[in-house]
Amino acid sequence: MIKSLESVFRANRIFLFLVFYRWASVLPVLFVWNQASLYRLSPWWVIAIVLLANSIVSLFNRPLNKLVIEHPAILGADILFSAFVLSISGGTNSPYYLYALSPLLAGAFFFQMRGALTAAAVFTPLYLLANHFSTPTENLILRASELAGIWLFPILFAYPSTLLRDISRAREELAHARDELAQKHENLAHAHRQLEIIHDLTILLQSAPDLISVQERVLGAVTTDLGFSKAVVAMVDPAHEELGGWLVYPHEETFPKIKPLPLKSGSGEIVKALLNRSAFSTTNQTLIQDSHLNDWLLQTQWFMMPLYLREHPVGILLVDEAGLTKERESTLITVANQAALALGTTILCIDRARRLAVETERNRIARDIHDTVAQSLFGIVYSLDACINMLPQKADDVKNELIELRSLANSAHDEVRRSIFDLWPSALTIELFMADLTNYVNSCCRPHSFSIVFSNNGDFNSLSSGMRRTVYRMAQEALANSARHSGARSARLCLTVTDQEVYLVVSDEGKGFDPEIALSRSVNREHFGLRGIQERARAMGGDCEIASLPNAGARIMIHLPANGLHHHA
């Protein structure tokens, strides 16, 4: 309902509403047209002046709307005009009284309570002055009522305007927080994607049978998984200190076959960058000391990364620089580091000692991945904490929601448990009744412990399925209220079932409350609430009594007929 009201009374629609009010407020004049003695001018002249003013306001509503918002003092002119209309149409007895209130309502709508009070304060002496110059009246009750209306109507209209303004501000803050959270989520999704690529690449590299297979899988990860259109890799032969074994993906027939080149600066900019362990973007220069390969490489703009395993050069990786961003570069470097590790390990894997080193290195990779995943999960909580800290101080509801999200990130299985508790078991026995209530209440008051002392008399299983569910829902809400609000660490539930009646009593020794206040608050709650328990009990032909005092605990006593009136409740 608030949302629908907000859509009607938005700032850009308020003025149209006020224009409609001005026209509607002229209608009472038609019913008292014969009382011409009240007017200081001819009734025709008065209504002509009013209709002319209304027409001007209607035709120029948009510029007037903007003008009033920018210059509130303009409303003073409208207030003077309304007082003038009253003075020439009978003062207290004027049929234009509702029309005269239109500038007061405008002040309330546009400027909330301050505008309402200011407009009423300005209009009051003008109203009295208008009565002084109009036909005298001895009807003091009518005059007092109209004076009261001058103050009450604007104040009453100012309250929803203030409420809607606060709602709009809270919605904007919530949207801002949502956008920040969405950005954090996008970053986390990006990091998660990096982890998946690294994990898959690690598994593939571990299962590669030879060096060429490792090279092909590195190229596949860079192009297929990361989305680069083209990639080239070359390997270092540590025994001969040469760079060779060039491969390109996707495969091209025009890619030249060359002999290994010595690891010296004179072999070209690519070898020089490899020796200096520096990444760079290629330009029109001598990239490699082989004319055929150099010409082929110059056809594309490349981003070149040296591959190192600790202090040992492993090779180089070149990717097509088209579409390269900072985020993709970060992911590419991470993949390149993993590729360097795998390629270097493969190159150094010569004998059993080397194979043992490979196994040790792979274990280290597994530990690194594990630590990275753990850090990513920590990053989720950290990012949510950051969102909470960045929120405005007044957005308490948003902050509570983000705190709940942080709790869910720390313990995702709790959410599953809550979902399970909301499902009905196929047969709600007394054992399941007590077990599910215990689990549900513990999930509501986490991380604090809360115990329930059960007392059961009679055959609960003899009740109909609908009645058992109704009793469960009532007990669930009563215990949840106790766990959340009483401050006690335990509650007592006594259930007695006879052939004709069901008695349910939930009590605690907590801080208590005023039942009248609690029940009045329950009217606007979206949840079941204490009033909901009472209404449900009465709908079933029973009753619910709530006994509590501040600092004296609380007791909810429910009495239902065993057969019930509505088993679907």
Give the three-state DSSP class for 290.
coil
pLDDT of residue 403: 66
Give the strand pairing for 302-309 and 280-281: antiparallel
Helix (H) or strand (E) holding 544: strand 543-548
Question: Do the beta carbons of residue 28 and residue 77 sit within 8 Å?
Answer: no
Mean pLDDT rounded to a whole number for the chain: 76
pTM: 0.35
Write the CB contacts of 186 (distance below 8 Å, at least 6 apart in sequence): none
Under the banding of pLDDT at 50, 70 and 90, the label for residue 503 is very high
* Block residue for tokens 């890799």: 233
Under the banding of pLDDT at 50, 70 and 90, the label for residue 36 is low
Pick the closest to residue 235 from 319, 287, 309 (CA basis): 309
CA dist 328 and 336 (Å) reads 12
pLDDT of residue 326: 79
Write the CB contacts of 134 (distance below 8 Å, at least 6 apart in sequence): 38, 40, 86, 87, 88, 89, 90, 91, 92, 93, 94
Structure confidence by residue, pLDDT tens digits, 324-349 = 877 777 778 877 887 777 777 766 65
Give the three-state DSSP class for 509.
coil
Under the banding of pLDDT at 50, 70 and 90, the label for residue 425 is low
Question: Do the beta carbons of residue 228 and residue 249 sit within 8 Å?
Answer: no
pLDDT of residue 107: 83
Structure confidence by residue, pLDDT tens digits, 290-301 = 888 888 988 888
Under the banding of pLDDT at 50, 70 and 90, the label for residue 64 is confident
Domains of the chain: 2-172 (no CATH), 208-348 (3.30.450.40), 412-561 (3.30.565.10)
The residue that leads in pLDDT, 133 or 511, is 511
Tokens of 167: 């709602």
* Block residue for tokens 């903007």: 66
Under the banding of pLDDT at 50, 70 and 90, the label for residue 508 is very high
Question: Do the beta carbons of residue 2 and residue 11 sit within 8 Å?
Answer: no
Question: Do the beta carbons of residue 288 and residue 302 sit within 8 Å?
Answer: no
Q: Would you say residue 95 has pLDDT above 60?
A: yes
Q: Give the angle subtended at the CA of 459 by the CAs of 454 and 463, to the nearest 5°.
A: 105
Pick the closest to residue 315 from 188, 211, 434, 470 (CA basis): 211
Under the banding of pLDDT at 50, 70 and 90, the label for residue 522 is very low
Pick the closest to residue 208 from 63, 338, 383, 43 (CA basis): 338
- Per cent of the chain over pLDDT 70 is 73
Under the banding of pLDDT at 50, 70 and 90, the label for residue 198 is low
Span 389-416, mean pLDDT?
A: 55
The residue that leads in pLDDT, 537 or 415, is 537
DSSP sequence for 357-387? HHHHHHHHHHHHHHHHHHHHHHHHHHHHHHH
Pick the closest to residue 430 from 479, 466, 471 (CA basis): 471
- Single-letter code of the amino acid located at 47: I
Pick the closest to residue 525 from 484, 487, 568, 569 (CA basis): 484
Structure confidence by residue, pLDDT tens digits, 102-113 = 888 888 887 888
Give the three-state DSSP class for 545.
strand
pLDDT of residue 417: 44
Span 68-92, mean pLDDT?
A: 82
Pick the closest to residue 563 from 518, 484, 497, 504 (CA basis): 497
Under the banding of pLDDT at 50, 70 and 90, the label for residue 491 is very high
Residues 500-525 as b or e (16 or more Cβ within 10 Å = b): eebbbbbbbbbbbbebeebbeebeee
Backbone angles phi and psi of 158, in degrees to 5: -70, -30
Residue 83, Cβ density class (10 Å: 0-12 exposed, 13-18 middle, ≥19 buried): buried
Question: Do the beta carbons of residue 181 and residue 157 sit within 8 Å?
Answer: no
CA dist 516 and 480 (Å) reads 19
CA dist 312 and 333 (Å) reads 17
CA dist 388 and 436 (Å) reads 33
* Block residue for tokens 């969102």: 387
List the beta bridge partners of residue 496.
Answer: 457, 503
Under the banding of pLDDT at 50, 70 and 90, the label for residue 422 is very low
Give the three-state DSSP class for 227.
coil
